[in-house]
């Protein structure tokens, strides 16, 4: 029984990615060196502060990567997530500014729930728009979401007049709650990421709707012949992705205390990269929520590695670009290797 469990674990598709992350972590711990803090020797990488830093940096686009993975599994793509993020953040900030009752410095349930609902609802609305356009117009989602990417960000720019708008300190307080940890440690975004990933994994792996998303991405025609409501499923995956962009926007804007139309510029590519590094196939039909989260973590870790190891930060883009391609090539190679072994 235990051996079976172990074997199943070793055959899990994410095992390679976990291996890479752990290896990178060990290398960083070894080569980063130590520093003195309040009389104690602390590893530059392997300390709660640095680890949580990676966690929160990754969390905002890991949350979107889970949604993006669902879109990619269905055979689609969504370039507008970064813009949805900015639009949700900006409009929520404007809404809050107009509601004096909700701008308190102390966290309140009303403040959290109303602003959260507004932000997530806006994301959902943007996603539904994408979904309806993609499923009704029968134009490739790359084109549709390329268009909405500019439109959403444009609306955010016009609405905010290009200015950064503050989020109430009460919300920042919630997102930066230490939950009993040391001062200066912020675990909330990380927990949110884990929660979204878990819900995403359950949705994809256990529910009827998740299975239908895999089927539509695997073979849309065969799914039509099996009676699946294709247009509804497609609309729903973009809606879900928009909703998660709204969640990320809420968490991110509250965490940093402000929203602007320039937020999350270029995030769509990080998000797609995370999904793909996490094993999602752009042909559709393949991918996991856990993979998306791990992919996001890996990308942030690589970025962090450049800082910790004091490499020239100007090379960051080059390193990340190479790492993404290498990760996907390795993932495919290991997939072939596993297939070969399973066939025997």
Partner 1 sequence: MTPILEIKGVTKRYPGVIALDSVDIAVGEGSVHALMGENGAGKSTLGKVICGLVHPDGGTVLLNGQPMKFSDPGEAVRAGIGMVHQELLFCENLSVEENLSLGDVPRHGMFVDRLEMSRRAHAALERIGVNVDTGARLGALPVAVQQMVQIAGAVAKGARVLIFDEPTSSLSHSESERLFELIDQLKADGVTCIYISHRMNEIFRLCDTISVLRDGRHVVTRPASELDHDSLVKAMIGRELEDAGEHDATIGEVALSVAGLESPGKFRGVSFELRNGEILGLAGLVGAGRTEVLEAIFGLDPAVRGEIRVHGSSLGTGRVGKAIDRRVGMVPEDRKRHGLVLGMRIRENETLPILPRLAKLGFVQTRNERETARKYFDRLRIRAPGLESVTAGLSGGNQQKVVLAKWLAAECDVLMVDEPTRGVDVGAKSEIHEILRELTVAGKAVLMVSSELPELIKISDRILVFRGGEIVGEVSRAEASEERLIRLMTGV
Binding site residues, partner 1, CB under 8 A: 206-209, 211-212, 214-215, 218-219, 221-229, 285-286, 340, 343-344
Q: Taking the complex as a whole, how short is the minimal distance between the CB of residue 115 and partner 1, in angstroms? A: 29
Q: Are the beta carbons of 245 and 127 closer than 8 angstroms?
A: yes
Residues paired with residue 259 on neighbouring β-strands, in sequence order: 165
Cβ closer to partner 1: 212 or 253?
212
Residues with Cβ within 8 Å of residue 162, at least 6 apart in sequence: 260, 261
Residue nearer to partner 1 on the CB measure, 180 or 227: 227
Q: Whole-number minimum distance, CB 294 to partner 1, in Å?
A: 22
318 or 343: CB nearest partner 1:
343
Shortest CB 119 distance to partner 1, Å: 25
Cβ atoms of residues 166 and 107 within 8 Å:
no
Q: Which is nearer to partner 1, 37 or 211 (CB)?
A: 211
Q: Which two tokens stand for residue 173?
A: 């307080």
Neighbours of 220 (CB within 10 A): 18
Own/partner pairs for 285-288, CB < 8 Å, 24+ apart? Answer: 285/73, 285/75, 285/214, 285/215, 285/217, 285/218, 285/219, 286/73, 286/214, 286/217, 287/69, 287/70, 287/72, 287/73, 288/13, 288/14, 288/69, 288/201, 288/204, 288/205
Nearer CB in complex with partner 1: 217/242: 217
Least distance CB 232 / partner 1 (angstroms): 10
CB of 337 to partner 1, least distance (A): 11
């Amino acid at each position: 029984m235990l051996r079976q469990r172990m074997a199943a674990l070793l055959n899990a598709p994410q095992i390679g990615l976990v291996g890479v992350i752990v290896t990178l972590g060990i290398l960083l711990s070894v080569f980063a060196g130590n520093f003195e803090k309040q009389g104690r020797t602390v590893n530059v990488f392997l300390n709660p502060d640095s680890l949580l830093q990676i966690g929160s940096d990754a969390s905002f686009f890991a949350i979107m990567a889970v949604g993006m993975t669902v879109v990619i599994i269905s055979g689609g793509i969504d370039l507008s997530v970064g813009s949805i993020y900015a639009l949700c953040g900006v409009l929520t900030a404007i809404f809050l500014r107009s509601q004096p009752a909700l701008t308190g410095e102390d966290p309140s349930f009303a403040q959290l729930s109303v602003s959260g609902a507004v932000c997530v609802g806006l994301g959902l609305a943007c996603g539904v728009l994408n979904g309806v356009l993609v499923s009704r117009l029968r134009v490739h989602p790359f084109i549709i979401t390329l268009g909405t990417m500019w439109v959403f960000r444009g609306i955010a720019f016009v609405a905010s007049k290009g200015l950064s708008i503050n989020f109430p300190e009460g919300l920042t307080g919630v997102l930066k709650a230490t939950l009993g940890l040391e001062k200066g440690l912020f675990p909330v975004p990380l927990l949110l990421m884990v929660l979204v990933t878990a819900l995403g994994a359950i949705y994809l792996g256990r529910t009827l709707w998740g299975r239908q998303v895999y089927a539509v991405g695997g073979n849309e025609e065969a799914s039509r012949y099996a009676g699946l409501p294709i247009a509804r499923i497609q609309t729903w995956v973009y809606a879900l992705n928009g909703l998660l962009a709204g969640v990320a926007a809420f968490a991110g804007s509250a965490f940093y205390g402000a929203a602007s139309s320039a937020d999350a510029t270029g995030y769509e590519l990080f998000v797609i990269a995370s999904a793909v590094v996490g094993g999602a196939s752009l042909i559709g039909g393949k991918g996991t929520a856990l993979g998306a989260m791990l992919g996001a973590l890996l990308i942030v870790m690589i970025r962090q590695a450049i800082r910790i190891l004091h490499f020239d930060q100007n090379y960051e883009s080059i390193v990340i670009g190479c790492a993404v391609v290498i990760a996907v090539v390795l993932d495919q190679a290991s997939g072939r290797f596993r297939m070969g072994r399973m066939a025997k």
